[in-house]
Structure 1
Amino acid sequence: MIHPISPHRRSLAGKRLAVALACAGALTLTGLPGLHLAEAASVPKPGVPCEELYDLSGTPVSSPSWGQNGSRPKSDWDEYDYTNQRNAMDGVTLPDDQAEQQKILREAGTDPKKWKEGDPRKVFASYSRYLEGQNGANEYGSFKGWLDDSYIDMAGRNPRGKAFERKAVKDLGLVGPDWICQEPVEYTDAKTGEKRYRIYDAVNRRTKELVEIKSGPNYAGDQGPKDRAVLSDPKYKDYRLRGVFGQSQTDETKTFYRNLAAQFGNGPDGKPRVTTYEHNSTPRATFKPGKYSASSPYLAPKGSTARGGATDIVNGSAPTPETMRKQVEAVRRNDPSGMRVRGPGGVDFSTLQLSYVGKPVKGKGVDYSFSADKAPNEDAGWGGKEKAQLISDAYFTWLALTPDKFWVNLNPDQPDKIMDKTFGKTDAGRVLLQADLEMKHDYARDMDPRKGLGKQYWDAMKAAGLSCGTVVRNWIVPEPAKVRVHDTGIYILDAPLKVNSVASDVKTPSPNGPCDLTAAQRKTSQRLVNQIVIPDVEHKVNTAPQYADLRRVYRSRVAAEYVRQQDAKAPSDYRAVINSNDVHRWPVRGKNASWTPRKTWDEYVKSFTKGDYSYPCEMAGQQKICVMGGVDFSKSPKRNISNVEFKAQHPHLQRSTQTSVQAMTDDADNDHELLLGGNTDGKLPSGGGQSPTPTPTPTGKPTGQPSAPASHTPGPGHSTPPGGQAPSTPPGKQDGGGGLAATGTQVLTLTGIAAALLAAGAALVWWRRRRTTGN
């Protein structure tokens, strides 16, 4: 039956909405979820025509447009705003000292109503009240966890939910006299025979449709039994239920609706009675920042205060899996109404990388965007700060240091020349040196003749009549980075790495015995290495977790080089940083704070002199025990794809990136990826005088580098002598796009992650400036 609309009912609609929104804004939430008040009543108030409730009169009446395959066309994805002024308090902190904490909390008391919004004492009083109700235990794990996921998030749930409901109603055309919002549906409890009610966000009794709208990706667990009861009631045997979500559904939600659909099957028209629809829209909290608003240090020049889509998400990421698990469990327990949107727990921060940097304009800041894989069901989300900090630190390191500083040297004879002292104080330098060592181990593992690829290699060598392998040099080089340089900035679409391997000459006899090969035999041995072993090492470098930091650091270099080039054209807020050789603001941090280049050098020498493993082998017809012992970023070419190619392959990326600057959003071009960014704001302290002129990049000979560095990786049965002469660096892959380093010399020059590391006489491998070969 269709509800008649009385004049009195119409007159109350606007008042109800105003009161509801006012109450939502005035609530002091201290950990308790919001409730539909009508559901708590024995006889709920009747619903209101949707167009009246949301002031949509005049909107053309149309049938709902549910898109294709249950989702909104990606070309229509957009954003909506809701108000949550409590976001301005996300920078409130408590001191670590317990005595100071208790003093602050005592002074604030346990009555939040005593204090005005925007006063930190209101936050502290709310926290004290929460702890009082929890017998002193904080289920969120930390004050920061409670602040983000209880005090701030819960205050925004009702405004966000209402804002999305209005948007969904408007976009889908749920208007006209037949569509009633917040409508109670009476059903009979199958066990008790009592009459109960389930309030749906929109109901059309003429077309027999029930609609539940959620701004996030989750269904409400406490509503599930009611939905089953309604659909089981004979009165609604011809009705269909549709769940509408503002974000891609979690696996848990998909499973719930899939099971519900299986239980109730098809209606009389042959169509499923239970379906879902994803009306992808990104929520943006609007508020006026204040003195207690948090900022992010990422990519922000000194003196600026960055905020944006990444601020809340990254800052809300817990440091460990255990602390994040507790935080997510607390959020779930306090969200029976399913009003959460995706938070830090839904981000796989181990995949976080820089994907966009805007054109730097002095005084206006720079937009930026990170990308990261989605994590199902909010079960991940830890380590975000560490990864974002590394990306930012590497970005500034590439800007601050002149190119002659980018060398490292794993030479056992030169412990005093491992790497430039300034570069050695940065996380970027640490990542390069550690990646060098890691590749040695990975190559050596692959060369084990007892199993896997190593066995394939040695079987092929025997088939070719070769009992020992040639000395090889392996090193990592960047493949051309695929980018789109736009008027507004640079999109880093892909930044793959390649492992090169070539045969090399050494003079020192191998500790495993002599192995004299003809030129043809050396060529055969090298061909087999390239065919069998190198592809796996290259795959690891591009995909394995142990090289994720190396990939992060390389993308930061791509972005930094773009900024260098733009700053050379017109001064930016980064002018004072570029070529300053001052990196004290971007040191080795966190768990790696005690790291020194010498520690990696010591680890290398241990493997160099003692080996990591040994294995039985045959050398020149004799049974022996063999021991196993390069990364060259000398160029970083880029390929700037055309606008036509960019639009064809990434039709929605520009819009998604713009959205991500303000709020975390789905990447419309990649179903498995999220985008989250910010703006560096650019409000630097004012100062007089003229803008400085660009600082030229030094092109002279680097200072302090090791003498006679080697760059070989020995093949099985051979070694490179300490201080042995290095062959000329093989020609790097040339690309029509040119190198990124347009500063007079190469910006990131690393050599030799030699791959087979491991034992007395194993190869010397290091990172150094690439020699000029005329290629």
Structure 2
Amino acid sequence: MNYPISVTRGRASRIALAAACAGVLSFTGLTPLTGEAAAAPKQVRCDDKYGLRGKNITPATDFPGDASRIKAKWDSYRFPNQRHAMDGLKLPKDVAKQKEALAGISSDYKQYAEGTPERVFGTYKNYMEGKSWNDQKYGSFDNWLNDAYIEMEARRTRGEAFEAKVVEDMGLVGPDWLCQEYVEYERDANGKPLYRKYDAVNYKRGIFVEMKSGGDNDGSQTPKDRKLLTSDKYKDFKVRFAFGEAVSDETTKRIRNMNARIGPDPSGNNRVTGYAHHSTATPEYRPGKWTRPGTLMTPNPGQSPASPGTDNIIRSQPTPNDARRQQERANAANRNGSGVKGPGGVDFTTLDLRYVGKPVKGKGLDYSFSAKETTGTEPGWGGQEKAQLISDSFFTWMALTPEKFWVNLNPDEPDRVMDKQFGRTDAGRVLLQADLEMKHDYARLMDPREGLGKQLQDAMREAGLPCGTVTRNWIVPKTAVVRVDENGIYILDAPLKVNSEASEVHTPDPNGNDCTLTPAQRKVSEGLVNRIIIPEVERRVNNAPNYADLRRVYTARVAAEYVRQQDQAAATDFRPVINSNDVRKWPLRGANRSWTPKQTFDDYVKSFTKGDYSFPCEVNGQNKICVMGGVDFSKAPKRNVTRAQFTAEHRHLPRTTKTSAKAMTDDAETEDTLFLGGNTKNAAGGGGGTHPTPTPSPTDGPKPTDQPSTPAPSSPAPTTSTPAPRPTGDPAHPGGDLAHTGSSAPTGLITGLAALLVAVGGALVWWRKRRGSTT
């Protein structure tokens, strides 16, 4: 592999990027700001420091106490970090190869200009030499580059930008507000003064202000605060913390303990408070030759810079242990509370696609994922893998024509599991695996010895049924809730439903039972299964972690069909992909790169013929050991909520998705939820070569010789007159039923949506037949 460090010093000026930051990297954290004996610097008015004098800003007479900024005013601010433009640089993982690659680079990194590869590599070489080339802290050049070289500089510039924002937003202007003010808190043994530096001070009002762009304050300055607030000179003063994010639990506890030790003010109010001035920090830099290429949601992976809003996805570690070490490094570097949420704070197991903007040729595509914050002590990991699955599935749904979207787990049909091209994608793999997972869950729930299985067994006895019936289970979409407007599609909810019906199969029953039911008895048995067992299977499909990939693939389908319809109305950057039947850019990846549909089919047959578990039973009057074994989105009803309802229930969502393209941001509507997104500008354009103009999806796709257990869906032509669907007459849902599929399906906004997540295998999930029970 070639690494981009062959750039000579003579070429540095020709490839240099605009350098907004020239600070020297500290590998041990930020330099302590206070506590040293020194002369107090000259006082500086806040409005002078941040260029606000003369602006029409009302001077503040106080500062908020324990409170949070109202959600309607949540916003973002920019901070410079040109080093971010170097995040695509690479080095070998092997230390010996690193030394060889860096042989022409001096560890005297200051001789190289900021914004050049030489500056980065020289700094890294200096660091590694200081560690005798045994880096136990970062473990790799990539970790060092992101968590040290880029992030440590970001902490400085981000902190400065946040301070300027708070000064302006809160009105810390006029002669009484001083910034970066040193306040003497005691004298050392030699009588020299020691100072505590505050970001802002108002002596007239008795206010000390400390600002943190994140949501944490590590407490290292607490002893100095306590000495000041308990001194005769400052006994009536208050300390006000201003945070850019929600105040962390640990910091809240520190503030509470501080107040308990120093006591309240004369009015009984806390003298130390934490105010959450919610505002998202967005890095500002000019991408260049060495910027990390993007791979998410773009039809041309690697041809444009990655979006900064997905930075935490890209930086997330591949394993829990790696994530734990990353979080430990972040905690150690966050000694002064200057860090904001990083990848360790994101629960990537909940990552899903929630928004796709209206695609306009040459403008790129806005998109946004959502995820929960982590709970407990374990940091998040695996974000890149899950985001890539969503992105790959998004393009799979566009690239392959609808007749290919079927899978078929039927023990009688080993040669017709799924389309060959679909079987080379992770979307196809996820559908087939989810079908098998559902069969296993169904079988486990049918255990007649306990729980729901016993309830079913008792109900069948009461109904006088001699045995159960074979059932076919499959997953279909419930009515999904979306909002489509001039901005794009917001996927508000996309629930799934499990259907079940009596079926037949010719593969021998492993329990050797030839019990048969009359049509009426089969109907009763089917009804009992639907009432007792299926609701729990459906709950798992919609909530259990082992179906999370299926849910991700489904929302990607919703977004892809929206883009398909937009492209049929007016050409977009995605036209070369649509119906191209070329999925080479979105193949099986990672640990699943060698997966084949046959592997899942074989696992199913083994489960079907040998069972998932065994239990004592009676079959035809004989004592035996019985065994148990064991998604069709052919319709995709959607409801487009009205503008009034969307504004009332999700008024902050457009702002959140817009901000998420620049940096990970808090969701103003749902607690502990984050949004991470981007824009594919310069990535979705072009494509090169000639491509056939896509035609509307056929009304009915070609059918296999024998209908598979989950047939291929059909896809009606889209509407083009308005982005919103026409109502179909359902008074309960004013947005209408969006796009059923099938030859008689009405025209609607989302043609098929999840409908093409066909069948996740016709789900022949078996209830074994036996006398007195349902083997």
The two structures have a TM-score, normalised by structure 1, of 0.86
Residue 175 of structure 1 corresponds to 173
**Residues 595/509 of structure 1: CA separation in 2 closer, same or farther (3 Å cut):** closer
CA contact (8 A) 2:515 2:769 kept: no
Residue 139 of structure 1 corresponds to 137
Residue 21 of structure 2 corresponds to 25
Aligned to 2:240, the other structure's residue is in SS state: strand
Deviation string for 1:335-375 (max 9, x for gaps)?
Answer: 31221111211111111111111111111111111111112
CA distance, structure 1, for counterparts of residue 360 and residue 414 of structure 2: 43
Deviation string for 1:497-551 (max 9, x for gaps)?
Answer: 1111233466888545344545555444333322322221111111111001000
For 1:541, the aligned partner's letter is V
Deviation string for 1:588-611 (max 9, x for gaps)?
Answer: 100111111111111111112211
Deviation string for 1:214-235 (max 9, x for gaps)?
Answer: 0112213422333344344454
Corresponding position: 1:159 with 2:157: yes
Residue 7 of structure 1 corresponds to none
Residue 320 of structure 1 corresponds to 319
CA distance, structure 2, for counterparts of residue 372 and residue 538 of structure 1: 22
The equivalent position to 1:258 in structure 2, one of 222, 247, 256, is 256
TM-fit CA distance, 1:82? 1.2
1:461-540 superposed matches below 5 A? 461-466=460-465, 468-504=467-503, 511=511, 513-517=513-517, 521-540=521-540
Residue 8 of structure 1 corresponds to none
Aligned to 2:654, the other structure's residue is in SS state: helix
The equivalent position to 1:296 in structure 2, one of 294, 297, 320, is 294
Of all paired residues, the percent bearing the same amino acid is 54
CA contact (8 A) 1:613 1:758 kept: no
CA contact (8 A) 2:35 2:194 kept: no
Residue 654 of structure 2 corresponds to 654
For 1:275, the aligned partner's letter is T
Residue 759 of structure 2 corresponds to 750
Aligned to 1:145, the other structure's residue is in SS state: helix
**Residues 520/216 of structure 1: CA separation in 2 closer, same or farther (3 Å cut):** same
CA distance, structure 2, for counterparts of residue 377 and residue 401 of structure 1: 42
Residue 121 of structure 1 corresponds to 118
TM-fit CA distance, 1:277? 0.7
For 1:394, the aligned partner's letter is S
Deviation string for 1:26-72 (max 9, x for gaps)?
Answer: 222052323255543434325422222222223222334638x6100
Aligned to 1:168, the other structure's residue is in SS state: helix
**Residues 512/670 of structure 1: CA separation in 2 closer, same or farther (3 Å cut):** same
Corresponding position: 1:62 with 2:84: no
CA distance, structure 2, for counterparts of residue 146 and residue 507 of structure 1: 60
Residue 269 of structure 1 corresponds to 267
1:384-403 superposed matches below 5 A? 384-403=383-402
Aligned to 1:585, the other structure's residue is in SS state: coil
Residue 38 of structure 2 corresponds to 42
For 2:23, the aligned partner's letter is L
Aligned to 2:283, the other structure's residue is in SS state: strand
Deviation string for 1:450-490 (max 9, x for gaps)?
Answer: 22222233233344444533333221111122111111211
Which shows bigger deviation, 159-168 or 379-388? 379-388
**Residues 512/690 of structure 1: CA separation in 2 closer, same or farther (3 Å cut):** closer
Corresponding position: 1:94 with 2:91: yes
TM-fit CA distance, 1:755? 7.1
Which shows bigger deviation, 516-525 or 209-218? 516-525
TM-fit CA distance, 1:108? 1.4
CA contact (8 A) 1:364 1:683 kept: no
**Residues 685/624 of structure 1: CA separation in 2 closer, same or farther (3 Å cut):** closer
CA contact (8 A) 1:698 1:744 kept: no
Aligned to 2:384, the other structure's residue is in SS state: helix
CA contact (8 A) 1:608 1:759 kept: no
CA distance, structure 1, for counterparts of residue 58 and residue 353 of structure 2: 43
CA contact (8 A) 2:374 2:380 kept: yes
CA distance, structure 2, for counterparts of residue 515 and residue 691 of structure 1: 58
Residue 237 of structure 1 corresponds to 235
Q: Work out the number of aligned pairs and report it.
A: 718
TM-fit CA distance, 1:195? 5.8
Aligned to 2:588, the other structure's residue is in SS state: coil
CA distance, structure 2, for counterparts of residue 228 and residue 528 of structure 1: 68
For 2:172, the aligned partner's letter is L
**Residues 685/548 of structure 1: CA separation in 2 closer, same or farther (3 Å cut):** closer
CA distance, structure 1, for counterparts of residue 155 and residue 560 of structure 2: 38
The equivalent position to 2:218 in structure 1, one of 220, 239, 242, is 220
Residue 447 of structure 1 corresponds to 446
TM-fit CA distance, 1:268? 1.5
**Residues 688/492 of structure 1: CA separation in 2 closer, same or farther (3 Å cut):** closer
CA contact (8 A) 1:630 1:754 kept: no
Residue 4 of structure 2 corresponds to none
CA distance, structure 2, for counterparts of residue 185 and residue 753 of structure 1: 73
For 1:250, the aligned partner's letter is S
CA contact (8 A) 2:502 2:522 kept: yes
Which shows bigger deviation, 24-33 or 350-359? 24-33
Residue 19 of structure 1 corresponds to none
**Residues 755/184 of structure 1: CA separation in 2 closer, same or farther (3 Å cut):** farther
**Residues 188/456 of structure 1: CA separation in 2 closer, same or farther (3 Å cut):** farther
CA distance, structure 2, for counterparts of residue 744 and residue 275 of structure 1: 49
For 2:74, the aligned partner's letter is W
Aligned to 1:222, the other structure's residue is in SS state: coil
TM-fit CA distance, 1:686? 5.9
Aligned to 1:107, the other structure's residue is in SS state: coil
Q: Which runs of 5+ in 1 are unaligned?
A: 1-22, 713-732, 762-775
Residue 329 of structure 1 corresponds to 328
Q: Which runs of 5+ in 2 are unaligned?
A: 1-18, 712-731, 741-748, 771-775
TM-fit CA distance, 1:152? 0.7
For 2:51, the aligned partner's letter is D
Residue 719 of structure 1 corresponds to none
Corresponding position: 1:628 with 2:628: yes
For 2:38, the aligned partner's letter is S
Aligned to 1:417, the other structure's residue is in SS state: coil
CA contact (8 A) 1:211 1:242 kept: yes
CA distance, structure 2, for counterparts of residue 615 and residue 448 of structure 1: 8
For 2:92, the aligned partner's letter is P
1:611-760 superposed matches below 5 A? 611-618=611-618, 623-629=623-629, 631-682=631-682, 693-699=693-699, 701-702=701-702, 705=704, 707=706, 709-710=708-709, 736-739=737-740, 742=751, 747-750=756-759, 752=761, 754=763, 756=765
Aligned to 1:415, the other structure's residue is in SS state: coil
Residue 581 of structure 2 corresponds to 581
For 2:543, the aligned partner's letter is T
Aligned to 2:68, the other structure's residue is in SS state: coil
CA distance, structure 2, for counterparts of residue 552 and residue 744 of structure 1: 13
Aligned to 2:379, the other structure's residue is in SS state: coil
CA contact (8 A) 1:396 1:586 kept: yes
TM-fit CA distance, 1:694? 2.8
CA contact (8 A) 1:32 1:334 kept: yes
CA distance, structure 2, for counterparts of residue 262 and residue 45 of structure 1: 33
CA distance, structure 1, for counterparts of residue 507 and residue 122 of structure 2: 74
Deviation string for 1:233-267 (max 9, x for gaps)?
Answer: 45443332222100123333233223333444422
CA contact (8 A) 1:342 1:378 kept: no
Aligned to 2:221, the other structure's residue is in SS state: helix
Aligned to 1:572, the other structure's residue is in SS state: coil
For 2:309, the aligned partner's letter is A
For 1:103, the aligned partner's letter is E
TM-fit CA distance, 1:118? 1.8
Deviation string for 1:280-314 (max 9, x for gaps)?
Answer: 01111111111001121111122741532334222
CA distance, structure 1, for counterparts of residue 384 and residue 753 of structure 2: 34
Residue 429 of structure 1 corresponds to 428
CA distance, structure 2, for counterparts of residue 471 and residue 190 of structure 1: 85
CA distance, structure 2, for counterparts of residue 662 and residue 642 of structure 1: 28
**Residues 231/448 of structure 1: CA separation in 2 closer, same or farther (3 Å cut):** farther
**Residues 92/306 of structure 1: CA separation in 2 closer, same or farther (3 Å cut):** closer
CA contact (8 A) 2:409 2:762 kept: no
